Each structure stands twice: as structure tokens, then as C-alpha cells.
Structure 1
Amino acid sequence: MRGPSLKSVAIAVAIATLAVPALASPPPDTRAILGTVGKVVSANGIDEAKAVEIGGIQQWVTVRGKDRRNPILLVIHGGPAAPELPTRYLFEAPWTDYFTVVEWDQRGSGKTYLLNDPAKIAPTLSADRIVRDAEELVGYLRATYGKQKVFAIGHSWGTIIGLNLAARRPDWLYAYIGAGQIIDTVAAEKVNYAWVLDQAKRRGDAQAVRELQSIAPYPEKDGSLPIDKLGTERKWSVKFGGLTFGRDNYDYWENAEKISPDYSDADFKAIDQGSGFSLPKLLPDLAGANFTGLTKLDCPVIIFAGRHDYTTPSEPVQAWFRKLSAPSKRFVWFENSAHMMYGEEPGRVLVHLVQDARPLAAAVGDVAPEVDGP
């Protein structure tokens, strides 16, 4: 009687291997794996994460890029108090081929919230103070990394900070880039409310119609945005795709934050802690934002606009942009995006950063040379 063939032995071994319970080896540390994958290892690269004293407090800053000769791109996050750092691993790695990317957890946000006593920070929380923080940070980046200028890209709330920075220190910027730009909050919120109520009626969603009608007038007649009314409007705007086109929730993004290589469990909890702490204090500055009188900037301006954005809708932005005088300006539509274009169309964001922004630094020789072929 013959013994088993080599083929049957191989099949048996394969079946036995598949049958080994998953718990036979420890589960992988997802954060550590993602951190290792994203680590900058190029000889002339930079990969730093540290607390820096800005505005008299400790603020968390990361600096990552594959060639120090590339221009710095400062990311100014939204919210208020919604740092981009915990989700940057989803879209930012290709940026580091062309830029030295700086992430900054603003005063009262994320890791910076954890670094400081909230009682000390509370009296200082304002848009103006955060703009001055941004100025200090740019000054620090220029001095530390030997750059004449930087790019600043603001998202949502961050566009209030970024546009003020561009108005105050245009000589420090190659260009200002506004993604989900805010120009006139009251006008924008009126557009948002009309859209979301119309969507509720079109979909026959009686609960949405009832809840939305209950918050009228929105905004208030004095232009304020009560936090409970804002929450109701945003609840249904998210549901109908005004935050992320084609999605009815934000869970996908928040779940991605939970495995961030840049954030621990304590850091992740600090997102909600910082938001709860900061939003009530900064909401009046958000509601009062109005740049319609800013008709001239002395640095180039690029606007990234989601075609389906009903968080910061583009109608007020387009009207402002048409009147704006700047050394150069460009308005870029993201046809398959609402408000979250970094995650919705990351490839197109990269292309426009490289094609539209980076040459503005190349014009003064502040980019690493590109080498094609051997």
C-alpha cells in the first residue's frame, strides 16, 4: 500500500495551517504598523513630532517630508478644534514627496489641549489669538528650517485663520490655499439651511422637516448660531451628503481616527474634550466671520471647492473671489466632493497642490530638483 502523495500532504498541511485559530499569535498593533509604513527614511528627509512654545503655551507640531529642500506646507485644520493630524495617514503621505508638511494642533485642540491647563487656556481662546499663534508658528518654521516663505492651506474653520494670516503676513507666504473656504458665515449658513430643508422635503423625510422647521429662523436674526440649532442643521446636512458627497454619516472618518499612528487612545479622546471645550468659546468668532470687505491680497490665492459642499457652500466664496485682486488666483472645483475633499478626492488634491501651488515656490528656487530616470 502506497503512502500519501506529496500533493495530498501539501493539501493537508495547508488545511491544517488555515485551521489554526487567529489567536494563536498576538493581534497586530495597527497603529505601530501604520507608523512604520509612514516613517520617513530618506537621507535628506525630516520626520519630527514635538511640543513647541507658541503664544506662551505648548502646542503640538509635526514636520514630515522626504526632502528638506522642498517648500513647507502648513496645514491649518478646521473645527474649531478638529485636528487633521489623526487622519493624515489616509491622504498626506504623497504630499511629503513634494512638500515638507507641517501639522499643528491648534490652541485648545487635540494634543495641544492635553499639553496645557484648560483653565489657563480658556481666557485666551479666540480667532485672533489663534491667528497670532499661526504667525508665530510660521516665524518659527522659517527660522528653524531656513525657508523664506511657506504655503498655508486652511480647511473649513482653518480658512478663517489662514485668510487672516494671508492678509497680515503675505510676504511670508508663497500662496494661501483655502479648502472649504469661509467668507461670510451668515450668508453661507442661510444657503446651507435652505438646501438641507429642501432636501428633507424632496425626500419626504417628515422628521427632518419637522426638526429643521423648529429651528427657524436660522441663523438668528442677529446673525448668531446657537449651538443647539447648529447641531440640528448639521445633523441633517451630514445625513443628506452636505459634508461628504454620497455618504449619510461621518463614521468612516471618525473610525479611521481610532487607528491613527499619530494619536493614542488618550489623544483620540482629547479630540472630543478639546471640541467641547473650544467650540462654545470660538463659535461667536465663527458666526461673525466676514471677509467680503477683503478685496486685495498681496500673495497668490488658490481656492479648493467641493461642488456638493453644504457645510461651507461656495456661493459666497465665488462672489468674493471674482472681486479679489491678488498677484495670481485660481479657483478649483472638486466635482465629486462635498466638504471633505482631502479624503473624497485625494488624488486630485495632490495634483493641484503639485501643479498649481508648488511652482510658486519653484519660481524662487525653493524646491528640491526632480530627477527623471537614471
Structure 2
Amino acid sequence: MFVNKTPAIPHESNSISSLEKMSIGGVEQWVLLRGHDHRNPIILWVHGGPGGAQIGFIRQFCSDLEKDFLVVNYDQRGSGLSFSKNIPKDSMTINRMVDDLLEVVEKLCSRFKQDKVYLLGHSWGTILSYLTINRRPERFHGYIAVSQVVNMKENERVSYEYTLKKAKESRNEKAFTQLKKLGAPPWKNLNADRIHNKWLQEFGGGLVHTGDFVNPIIKSILKGPEYRLLDLIRWIRGQMFSMKVFKEELTNLDLLQANKHIQVPIVFCCGRHDFTAPSEIAETFYNQLQAPSKKWVWFEESAHTLFIEEKEAFVKLVKDTVNEWNTIKV
């Protein structure tokens, strides 16, 4: 019988490679722990979405981080392996997700006898990460923000205007007609988001700047043992469920109104071509932010998922940044 598992890390006596269930916030959630030495510093990765669970494919893109860190991924409630039709919709709130994230941090610190973790958030995960750091800064060495989301209304406005402009410039009448019919956001249903995102990807500002995102990810999921075939269906269902239940709350989100003085070092990693979470909005936030140390890094060949498009450069950036933070002892 095929079971969910993750490959062992060979020839390392202190390695850890574990895919396991945890009770987090009263809900069963799946956690992936991988590292050449379980005593290394912890990097906790908070995936995007909502619902963009990544246990099924992330190992293919960040395994080099496992040499220096204990890399932890978890499929958030309602996502991927952690999706269940029995999860109460009223428990799917940003505040509850922050509580979940903090509970994961506490469990990791207790289990591996560490006081702090490095937090790595992507897209939707940057919202949860930033709010969590604000609540419990003493639990974090630093924060790596990948494609930081700040204000969803502004995100959608800038993204739509960019896509419409590209459709006009390229004389793509089909795209221009469909986008004009949609009208400016906010949109009331996920189908409108789907149409917009289809053309955004066509014009190079979507999840990846060049090539295809979906097929390589699905191939990675099918090739790895972390997800079974039926889990691919759960992964898709979890994304639809999560995007739908969080749509209203996300529409009203604005981190520009949050506390902009954080107590941990931070690095913003942004794809030059990202118009899923347009960098101009993140730059405004970054410029207002006060932190012990802050840095902005462009990934010139990427759009929204730079850790996939420029994975070697991203891994190097993470390692170099952590070394820099340790050197200056922020």
C-alpha cells in the first residue's frame, strides 16, 4: 500500500527526513521536516495561496537548503494534505492561521531545543509571517519575505492595469476584450480571477515570467512520494476552498495600516516581473518599515515564484543573508 513519505537523506547520521501529522489548533495538519543535521537552525517555510500547499513539490527546488538548515514546510489548514471537508469554514480566518503558525513554531522550538527559527514566507504566506513576527518577535532570528503581499485591493488594481496595458500593446484583441469585459477589480467570483491570471501569465507577470508553472509542478508532485495521486485532487480542492473562504478578508487586508516597526532583521526578495504581487506596493511598505536590518533584493529573471525560476540564486541568497545576520549579530 502506498503511503505518504519523504526520501531519506543518505550518509548523514544526524539527518532528519520526516513527513508527519500534527494536531495544530485542534486540526490535523501535515508537516515536512528535512535536514542533513537536525541540530541545524530551523527555517520554517510559510507557503502561498491561500491554499498553495507545497509539501508535494518543494523538495525538488530547495533541497540545497537542507545541508545548512532543518527545513520545515507545513500544509496549512484547508490546504494540500491538511485539506478536509470537515474543517469549519468559520475557523478559516487570518487570525486563526497566525495562531496555527505560532503553534508550529512553539512545537518546533520545544522538540529541537531551539529558542528561535528563521521564517520564510511566500506571497499569502508573507501576510501570516509578518503578522506572526509582530505578535511574537522573540521567537524569530529573522524574516525572509518572498513576493511580499501588502494590500490586496492595490495588488489587483495594479495587476489588472498592467495586464490590460500589455494586451493593448501586443494587440491581443481576445485578451483585451475579455479583460475589458471583466472591468476593474475587485471581482466577486474566482472565475474573474482565473481569466485575469490567465492573461497575466501570458504576458509574463504571473507565477513565472517565462514558460509554464502548472505542468512542472504537477510533474514534481507525481514524481515524489510525499503526495499520492488522490492527494493531487486534495491539493486542487484545497486551493479552491481556501481562496474562496479567504477572498473577503483578503480584500480588506492592508499591511500599510499595521505596525511597521519590527524587531527582527528582514530581507525582501522580489521578482522583477512580478505583477501577481506588484513590487511597487511592496517597495512602499519596505521604505516605511523600521527593522534592525533590512535589505531589498531583485531577482531579475523571475515573476512571482522566484525560488522556482532562480532556485540556485535564491538558495544562495538565503544562506548569505543568514550568514550576514549572524556576523552583524542583529
Instruction: Output the TM-score relative to the length of structure 2.
Output: 0.93
**Structure-to-structure mapping, 1:119-268, within 5 angstroms:** 119-219=86-186, 226-242=189-205, 243-247=207-211, 250-268=214-232
Q: Could you tell me how far apart the structure 1 residues matched to 2:181 and 2:276 are?
A: 20
For the 8 Å contact 2:273–2:300, the answer to whether it is kept is yes
Q: CA deviation at 1:302?
A: 1.0
Counterpart AA for 1:261 = P
Q: Secondary structure of the equivalent of 1:148?
A: coil
Cα 1:363–1:130 shift into 2, 3 Å: same
Cα 1:270–1:350 shift into 2, 3 Å: same
Q: Could you tell me how far apart the structure 2 residues matched to 1:164 and 1:175 are?
A: 14
Counterpart AA for 1:275 = Q
For the 8 Å contact 1:239–1:247, the answer to whether it is kept is no
Q: CA deviation at 1:91?
A: 1.3
Q: Could you tell me how far apart the structure 2 residues matched to 1:174 and 1:338 are?
A: 27
Q: Secondary structure of the equivalent of 1:357?
A: helix
The equivalent of 2:76 in structure 1 is 106
Q: CA deviation at 1:250?
A: 3.2
Q: Deviations over 1:39-81 (max 9, x none)?
A: 3541111112111111011110111111123110001001111
Cα 1:238–1:286 shift into 2, 3 Å: same
**Structure 2 residues without counterparts, runs of 5 or longer:** none
Is 1:68 matched with 2:35?
A: no
For the 8 Å contact 1:240–1:248, the answer to whether it is kept is no
For the 8 Å contact 2:39–2:112, the answer to whether it is kept is no
Moved more, 249-258 or 264-273: 249-258
**Identity %, equivalent residues:** 30
- The partner residue of 1:327 within 288, 292, 302 is 292
Is 1:343 matched with 2:313?
A: no
Moved more, 327-336 or 292-301: 292-301
Q: Secondary structure of the equivalent of 1:305?
A: strand
Counterpart AA for 2:195 = T
Q: Could you tell me how far apart the structure 2 residues matched to 1:358 and 1:128 are?
A: 32
For the 8 Å contact 1:258–1:265, the answer to whether it is kept is yes
Q: CA deviation at 1:339?
A: 0.5
Q: Specify the structure having the higher radius of gyration (Cα).
A: 1
Q: CA deviation at 1:248?
A: 5.6
Q: Could you tell me how far apart the structure 2 residues matched to 1:363 and 1:59 are?
A: 36
Counterpart AA for 1:47 = S
Q: Deviations over 1:276-309 (max 9, x none)?
A: 2222101122222211123211111111100000
Is 1:90 matched with 2:60?
A: yes
